[in-house]
Amino acid sequence: MKIEYKNKKIEKLCTQRNLAVRRIGRSSAVKLANRVSDLLAADSLKDVIVGGGHELTGDRKGEYALKLGGGMRLCMTAQSPVPKKSDGSTDWDSVRAVTLVFIGNYHD
Confidence of residue 79 (pLDDT cuts 50, 70, 90): very high
CATH 3.30.2310.20 fits 2-104, yes or no: yes
Averaged over 80-88, what is the pLDDT? 93
Chain mean pLDDT for the chain: 94
pLDDT digits (tens, 9 = 90+) for 46-64: 999 888 899 999 999 999 9
User: Which sequence spans correspond to the domains of the chain?
Assistant: 2-104
pLDDT at 28: 96
pLDDT at 44: 94
pLDDT digits (tens, 9 = 90+) for 22-46: 999 999 999 999 999 999 999 999 9
What are the b/e assignments for 66-102, b being 16+ CB within 10 Å? bbbbeebbbbbbbeeeeeeeeeeebbbeebbbbbbbb
pLDDT at 102: 98
